[in-house]
Structure 1
Amino acid sequence: MYCLASVTSDGTHWVLRRNCSVTPRQLGAMYALLSALSLVVAGFFWTHGAWMVLPFSVVELVAVGAAFLVYARHATDGEHICVCRGRLVVELEDAGRLSRIEFAGHAIRVEAPSGQRSLVSVWGGGRSAEVGRYVRADLRPVLAQEIRRALREP
């Protein structure tokens, strides 16, 4: 049986993050090293008369830099779900933007995902949120069950 939550004195928390093997800082260092190496090789060929290597190297570095930037913007994406003091708080971070939705404890409905690609739905008080993006599809029903259980506890 899985337990995705951590229980503290102030409530039950789920911190769900993207599984990233490289941090944005490591990615920046890797890009700087790649750029330096590529420009040294291009400079060598440029000094030996193959001047077209340098512009292609710059185009390559711009394309790789753009791809790294897109990756780095989403490397810290995640969800923080908290049940504390009879309230459910859902914080979603996407590309550096943080959105926060609060639900009143007595009127919250939590629905487990119906299919492999669907997420856990939470709604109440005219608001709704979908959570579980960073949890394996087979563990999303477990997440829904844990949220329901935490909402029932005093």
Structure 2
Amino acid sequence: MSATTSSIAWPTGGIRSGFRFGRETSSPGRAAEGSDWSVDWVLERAAANRRAGRIGALIAYAVLCAASLAVASSFWAEGARVVMPVAWAQLMLIGGIGWAVARHASDRECIVLRGDRLTVERASGSHVERVEFQPAWVRVEPEHDDRSLIELSGQGRRIAVGRFVAPEQRRQLAEELRLALRRWHQGGPKPASM
């Protein structure tokens, strides 16, 4: 698994200053004020791998179906009546497993620091979990150690993020989140000389 930014069109007034996983944005000419300042993180499986994987899986499944039904049909024609229902059951089982895997192909975590809210949305299959924090109260800590998931907590709520980031890069993601929260406390982006 790897972290990528999504195919969402990012605002054109974006500035990248020190963020590997996130995208810092502000309106042109208003960066000094910090009023439209925000940082967005979209963490998901690599998009190129998802699309190529889906197409390859569909082709492989179609070939498997054709071959399996061709063999089953020849046995059916020779009088082995049990082979065809077994072949159909096998293909349905494999198709069901493929559907379950495809259901999680668009799993992702979105973290948005904008205005007076830090919003975390985690999608897994058809389940979406959304937690909002006031940035002033958010704590960023590893769940167990530097390579474990990152826990965001505050105001009695908590959520773990970083599933789509390699364990060795989670510490860097946590530092990025802390940096963004520090900048939020200071009123938005600082000049590029930082």
TM-score normalised by L of structure 1: 0.85
Partner of 2:14: none
Structure with more strand by fraction = 1
Once the two structures are superposed, the pairs formed by residues 5-154 of structure 1 within 5 Å of their partners are: 5-9=22-26, 10-19=37-46, 21-23=49-51, 26=55, 27-28=57-58, 30-115=60-145, 118-153=148-183, 154=188
Structure with more helix by fraction = 1
Give the residue type in structure 2 aligned to 1:16. L
Deviations 1:36-91 (A, max 9, x none): 33212211221123333212212211221121122011111110111111321100
Distance (whole Å) between structure 2 residues aligned to residue 68 and residue 123 of structure 1: 35
The alignment of Structure 1 onto Structure 2 pairs a total of residues equal to: 154
Is contact 1:113-1:140 (8 Å) kept?
no
Give the residue type in structure 2 aligned to 1:44. S
Distance (whole Å) between structure 2 residues aligned to residue 29 and residue 96 of structure 1: 25
TM-score normalised by L of structure 2: 0.69
Q: 1:148: how far off?
A: 0.8
SS at match of 1:140: helix
% of aligned pairs identical?
38
**What residue ranges of structure 2 are gaps of 5+ in the alignment?**
1-17, 27-36, 189-194
Q: Which moved more, 1:89-98 or 1:24-33?
A: 24-33
**What residue ranges of structure 1 are gaps of 5+ in the alignment?**
none
CA RMSD of aligned residues (A): 2.4
